[in-house]
Structures are given as structure tokens and as C-alpha cells.
Structure 1
């Protein structure tokens, strides 16, 4: 494996800060959009939920399309950086506009919301996030540096999410509350996102592919002109793309369910909504801690796959302990098992991007064609489509359990469904992810191909 170093420490930090820019909008919309629409604007939550789901489906379709456009891009800045830079302008503008629903007929308010919410997700955020994800493969060819980038970006994302979670409601009130307060908060985070994203783009540069066979290079010198249809064929020829796409989807469906069900679990099962903040810290802080150690762990264990497989076994065991603790409402044991479960799950978050980069490199090794943009679309598809499906599942299961938001006391069926979503699904989805991680042997495949190529040269 090539151990050449490509990045200075400040470039790693600059790249990671790009996730701060992304989460200025994503965390605000995913956590507070529904609250703004129902409480400040007065729209119907069922209709909004349906519109969000339709928008997410369109969003998933646009991911591969924008990935293909990025792969065809030729510019002095490279392939990914222009999309990341200019995509953020649209991200910031649509973020502000979606929190500025004007006074008009109810139907037009729904239309206004759907247009700008879809523009944010399916167009601008898609272009920006795919470019940002694929940039990790374009600014370094060093596997350890890619793992470091994944860890650093998650730390920035976690920090931003915590800041937004704890401060947004206070800022809304400080700026006058209601639609005016939300409009000002959206403007602030839109500007911060634009500034930080620009800094992230300008502090790094894309590097060319190395150790490329000259005849293969000549044969594929027009590889940036790969058609959309051909890109799809190349994806389907790569078995590891299918696996990692599934891993992304399962991971973010699970996240969407647990995040959406969290406030219901604390309110209707534990009887204390304030516990949500405590459990959020227990979810995020251990991940931040373990991500600092992830590059060292990968190096010591040998592959990202092995490390994640061992860690996933721990998450399943701690998830079972959490279920038992929750059944007895043993808060200290619940917090302790949740802390260890989330710490063990942290390395997957830090290595997912690096695993996609390995998967993209597999296509290059076997097909001699680069489709980084389309390949990294799996991250955007997983985050947005998976999260959207997870949020929809929360609504569907609540309805199945006959949950009534206007009732002071919920029926046992609703409480049981809430318990299942928050306490049991981590174990169910943990088992599925363990199987997918076991099958994701792309690192070993790449090493075998490199060894075969080296032996062929020496023969």
C-alpha cells in the first residue's frame, strides 16, 4: 500500500470543517423543520410528512445524476471542488428561503415549502455533499489519511449538531420568536455554512492518480466522458458498491428511527422529556472520543472491515443490555450501556467514507475507469433516502400503535411501539449491519489486485 503523505495537519482540519458547513443546514432542517412548520406556520404535520417523503424519493434519484456530472467535470479546481464550492451557494439560499414561508393561501404554502425543501435536498445539498464526500478520495491516496479525514469530519459534524440542538430554540426567542425568529436563525446558519464551506474548499487541492499503467491511461484518457449509462454498469460490476450502499441505507434508516423516536421515548416511556439532551450527549460524546483513536485502531487491527466487525459485535451486546435496563427503567445502566454501544459504533462513522474510497479504487483497479462522483453518491443516498425512510417509519409505527398527540395518556400499544423503535431496533439493525460489514472485503480484494499487478511486473 502506498504510504506517501499528501496532507498537512491544517488541510485535514480544513477538510473536516466542511461537515460543519453541511450540518449548519442539515441539522437545522432535520431537527427543527417540522416544529417550525407546525408551530410557527401552522401547517398540518401529516401533509408535511408526506411531502417530505416524496421529496426524499426525488432526492435519492438525483444523487447518481449529480455524481455522473461531477465525474465529467474538467476545471482548474479539479472535479469535486467546483461542485462543493458553488453548490453551497444554493444550499445557503434555499436553507434561508425554506424558513421564510410567506403569508399566502394554505395550498400555496405547501407548494412553496415543497419547492424550496426539494431544491435544498435534491439539488444543492446533493451536489455539495457528493462533491464533499468524494473529495476525500481526490485529495489523498493514503488510506490512513482517508480514515483520519472521516474521523475529523465527524467531530466537526457532531460539534455543530450539539451547538444547534442546544441553542436554536433560545436564538429563535432572542430574535423575537415565531416566523421572524426562525428566519433570522436560518440566515445566521446559512451565512456560517457559506463561509466555512468556502474555507474548506480553498484550503485543499485534488491530486492526480498515481502509478497508472501508461497504455491503460491512453486507452481511458477520456474517462471523464463516461456516460451515465456506462457509470451505472460500472457500479453494478462492483459487488462492494452494492454492499456499502446497503450499509449506508441500513445505518441511516436506523438513525432516522432512533432519532425520530427519541423524544417520544423520553416523554411517554421514561416520563421526562429533558432526558433527551442527556441521551444525546451519551450518543455523541463517546463517538467523538473513539474517532480520535480510530486511525490507530485500524492500523493495529489491519483493516477497517475487521475493526468494524469486532466493534459491531460489541454494539449488539450493549444493545441487549440496554433493552434489559430500559425494561426496568434503570437509568444509570441505560446510560452506561448506551455510552459503550455508541462508542463501539463510532468507528463505522469514521471509516465509511474511506471504505467508499476503497470501493471506488476497486473499480479503477478492475475497470481502469474513474467514477468517484457516482461511487460516492451512495453516501448521499444513504444519508438522505435512508434518513427519510427512517423518519417515515416513525410516523407509520406511531399510527399503527394508535398514538394520539393530543392525549395526556397514551395507550399501551403506542408505548410498546415507542419502546421497540428506540430500544430494540438498534439490536435488529446492528445484526444486519454486521452481516454487511462481514461481506465488505474490498480492502483485501484491493491488496490482492495490487500484489497480482506487482508480481506481473516482476515476472
Structure 2
């Protein structure tokens, strides 16, 4: 790199995306998701039990707040993608958004788990709504859409994209494992009351902000080279309506959105795990065992996921994993109160999660390439934003469903024993509902048939044969 280049950019040989990424750069990218989960997963896993058992807010109220904000978040994702597509700075297109939103996200996460006790019940609800809205709709959206978009800007190599997805989710699952394993321990060690949540959320705020800032500063965007910077600045902004039209008229984009929505909707088991441990096995610390049983096989599996996908094909690898997950849920349904057999089922489930988890970001990037090749409209930021919208809406629905199911089941905060209707609600959200969602995901995955022509499309893009100039015989 010459002294005239910003650290954000690669040299000319890298602009076409053909240069293989170094492992060190993949790791720098991956640590960002490690940090993001100290906001996202911490909130998703513990907001309901914190609000119901510590603050004293009804689960149905929290579920409704989450649902409203996540739907609003879905729309903000769409606009954020358009903003990224039209961002042209010397730092890059997505990098600045990852970097500058990180510290704010950490502070807001801390604030969410420190609801002022001096506020009235209505005042507390207003406080929770405002802080959660700022996190979900604005700052996490800006950060996560930009972070996810980096996959498209860093490389066009399909193997590298799968590898980036694997490394990203290795770090993601490591942080999820740490959060779900140690949060209860931290909270009880620091006081098992508001003080425990205050100290824990302060630590997590730092663990959220610092890794994301590292990613935002050090990764390289190869598809926005410095020599293109002034030319890009002179181009007209891409009309938002044109971007949306290019996206919604592509069948693979619509399939991808449904997959994102369902994949995150099925994660009611993550939100319900603390309740399952507490009221099925009468020990909140069992949550750590359940988390390790699920996440450790996933982390180890992600190390070999790219090789497995290359050998059997991305789609086939996903189908195999989903079938394993279906089998695991059936097993857990049969042995729902046997901890040993439940753990065996969770291990199988963790293995089953691997192929889809590793491939998800790469699928979105590939679909973005298909759309760009067909239309000539660059949609890398927007497609990740809409995929993120599917994720946010799915996550919002699952959190709301968890809150509502607890209320309908008659959950009593702090009670040592819950009613049979509450136990059924807990089991439904932990096992039966995710089983249904995974079965539907499997059906939609069968329609992902683009692997046979994606390499040809990427070659066309490298030679600038896009839009009206493309080879129309490929896509049939």
C-alpha cells in the first residue's frame, strides 16, 4: 500500500474482488459480530426476564414494545441500506457506519438494563420504549446493516464469502455462549438485583463497542477503491424506488427474505431458555448447560462448514442441517424433562444449525450479485438492509410471542412454581414452535437453485457485462 492510500482500500489488483482474503482480515471482520451480540443477544435473551422480575413490567407490555419497535426497525433497515448504497467517503461505504455507531450502541444497551426506579410505572414504560426504540430502530440498524454489507464490499469470491460467514458466526456464537453461560452468574455475583444488572450491563457495553470499532476501523472495502472515490462522488444518487423495484422483482430475494424472517422467528427457544431452566429443571444455572450443548457444536462445526458446503453444495448442506434440526426438536419434544436426553437433542440441533448459519450472509451477497447483473443497479447495501429487516421483524415477533405466551399461560414473576398452562407455554416456545418454523424453512430452501449459474454471473460482473449488456442465456 502506498502512502497515498487510505487504510480502507486495497490496491488495484484487489478491486475486482479476485484477491483472496487473509485469515487475519477475516478475524478482524468476525470480531465485530462478537461485539454486536453483547447488545443484540444480551437484550434478546434477558430483556423480558429483567423487565418482568426486576423492574416489574408485564410480559405482554414488553412483548408489544418489542414488536412495535422491530416492525419500525424493518422499515428503517430499508432506508439504511439505501443510505449505505449512496454513501461515498474516503473511509468507505459501510465502514464509517460500523465505527461511529458502536459506542452509542454500547451506552444505550447499558441504559436499557438500568431503568430508573424513581420513575412511575408509566414513566418506566416510556423510558423503556424510548431507549429500546433508539437501539432497535436507529443505532443497531445502522451498525448491523453496515456490518452485514461489508461481506459484499470486501470480496466477490464465493468461497471467501462462505468463509467470512463461518468466521463471523464462530465469533457470534462464542459471544452468545459467553452471554448465555455467564450472565446469570455475573448478575447473582454482583448482587442478584438491580446492582447485578448494572455492573453486568456496564461490562457488556464495553464488550459491544470495542470489537465493533476494531472492525469498523481495520477491515478493507475492495469494491470502493480510492481511485474510484472522486468518480463516485460525481455520480447521481440511485433512486430509492429503482432499488426497491430491482429487489422485489427478483424471486431469490423474496425467498431470502422469507428465510431470514423464519430463521429468526424460530429463535423463541433462545428467549425461553432461562425460563425452561428455571421452571422445568428448577435451576436457572441449567441454562448454561443448555447453551453450551447447543453452541459449542455449532462453533466447532463452523470451522469445517466451508469445506462441507464446497463438497456437497451450499443448498444440499443446508438441507442436511435442517433435517438434523427437525430430528433434534422431535427428540426434545419426547424427552422434554430428561436433562441428559434433552442435552443430546441440543447437541444434534447445534450441529444442524451450522450449514444455514454459515451460508446465510453469502446467500444474501450472491442474490445481490444476481440482481446487479440483471439490472445494473448496485444493491449491496439495500439487499442486506432488507434481509436485516426480515431478521428484525422475525426477532421482534419471536420476542413478542414469548412475552404474550407467558402472559396467556399465566406466568407469575418470581414464583417458585408455575401453573401447568405456563409450563406448556414454556415448552411450546422452546420446542414445538421452533420445530414448525424450521420445517417451513426447509421447504423454502428447496427453491434456492442459483448455484448452477452463480459463477458465470460473477464472471460477467467482473467484465462489466451487467444490465442490458449481460448474457441473458445464463438465467433460465
TM-score by length of 1: 0.88
Check whether the contact 2:186–2:196 (CA below 8 A) recurs between aligned residues: yes
User: Relative to structure 1, is the Cα distance of residues 224 and 254 closer, same or farther in structure 2, using a 3 angstrom cutoff?
Assistant: farther
Q: Corresponding residue for 1:225?
A: 237
**Among 377, 382, 385, which residue is 1:377 paired with?**
385
Structure 1 residues 92-144: Cα deviation after superposition (integer angstroms, max 9, x where no partner): 23223323433233322222221111101110000000000010111111111
Provide the C-alpha distance between the structure 1 equivalents of 2:309 and 2:342, rounded to a whole number of angstroms: 29
User: Relative to structure 1, is the Cα distance of residues 68 and 52 closer, same or farther in structure 2, using a 3 angstrom cutoff?
Assistant: same
After superposition, where does 1:161-310 map in structure 2 within 5 Å? Answer: 161-172=176-187, 175=190, 178-208=193-223, 225-255=237-267, 257-301=268-312, 303-310=313-320
**Among 423, 433, 454, which residue is 2:441 paired with?**
433
Q: Corresponding residue for 1:215?
A: none
Provide the C-alpha distance between the structure 1 equivalents of 2:219 and 2:20, rounded to a whole number of angstroms: 10
User: Relative to structure 1, is the Cα distance of residues 93 and 138 closer, same or farther in structure 2, using a 3 angstrom cutoff?
Assistant: same
C-alpha deviation, 1:13, in angstroms: 0.4
Q: Corresponding residue for 1:159?
A: 174
User: Relative to structure 1, is the Cα distance of residues 99 and 56 closer, same or farther in structure 2, using a 3 angstrom cutoff?
Assistant: same
User: Relative to structure 1, is the Cα distance of residues 178 and 316 closer, same or farther in structure 2, using a 3 angstrom cutoff?
Assistant: closer
Structure 1 residues 27-55: Cα deviation after superposition (integer angstroms, max 9, x where no partner): 22222333433444444443333222222
User: Relative to structure 1, is the Cα distance of residues 402 and 138 closer, same or farther in structure 2, using a 3 angstrom cutoff?
Assistant: same
**Among 316, 324, 329, which residue is 1:314 paired with?**
324
Q: Corresponding residue for 1:92?
A: 106
Return the structure number with greater helix share. 1
C-alpha deviation, 1:227, in angstroms: 1.8
Which moved further from structure 2: 59-68 or 378-387?
A: 378-387
After superposition, where does 1:106-121 map in structure 2 within 5 Å? Answer: 106-121=121-136
C-alpha deviation, 1:83, in angstroms: 1.0
Which moved further from structure 2: 289-298 or 163-172?
A: 163-172
C-alpha deviation, 1:371, in angstroms: 1.1
Check whether the contact 2:17–2:222 (CA below 8 A) recurs between aligned residues: no
**Among 328, 333, 347, which residue is 1:339 paired with?**
347
Provide the C-alpha distance between the structure 2 equivalents of 1:403 and 1:258, rounded to a whole number of angstroms: 17
Which moved further from structure 2: 357-366 or 170-179?
A: 170-179
SS state at 1:439 partner: coil
Please list every run of 5 or more consecutive structure 2 residues that lacks an aligned counterpart in the other structure: 1-15, 226-230
Q: Superposition RMSD on alpha carbons, in Å? A: 2.9
Provide the C-alpha distance between the structure 2 equivalents of 1:240 and 1:49, rounded to a whole number of angstroms: 31
Check whether the contact 1:71–1:224 (CA below 8 A) recurs between aligned residues: no
TM-score by length of 2: 0.85
Check whether the contact 2:110–2:205 (CA below 8 A) recurs between aligned residues: yes
Which moved further from structure 2: 267-276 or 378-387?
A: 267-276
**Among 142, 159, 168, which residue is 2:157 paired with?**
142
User: Relative to structure 1, is the Cα distance of residues 238 and 221 closer, same or farther in structure 2, using a 3 angstrom cutoff?
Assistant: farther
User: Relative to structure 1, is the Cα distance of residues 420 and 173 closer, same or farther in structure 2, using a 3 angstrom cutoff?
Assistant: closer
C-alpha deviation, 1:317, in angstroms: 2.7
The answer to whether 1:55 aligns with 2:65 is no
Check whether the contact 2:35–2:212 (CA below 8 A) recurs between aligned residues: yes
The answer to whether 1:388 aligns with 2:402 is no
Which moved further from structure 2: 106-115 or 7-16?
A: 106-115
C-alpha deviation, 1:207, in angstroms: 0.9
Check whether the contact 2:326–2:439 (CA below 8 A) recurs between aligned residues: yes
Provide the C-alpha distance between the structure 1 equivalents of 2:185 and 2:340, rounded to a whole number of angstroms: 29
Q: Corresponding residue for 2:335?
A: 325
After superposition, where does 1:334-373 map in structure 2 within 5 Å? Answer: 334-373=342-381
Provide the C-alpha distance between the structure 1 equivalents of 2:452 and 2:111, rounded to a whole number of angstroms: 47
Check whether the contact 2:17–2:155 (CA below 8 A) recurs between aligned residues: no
**Among 70, 87, 97, which residue is 2:84 paired with?**
70
Q: Say how many residue pairs are matched.
A: 444
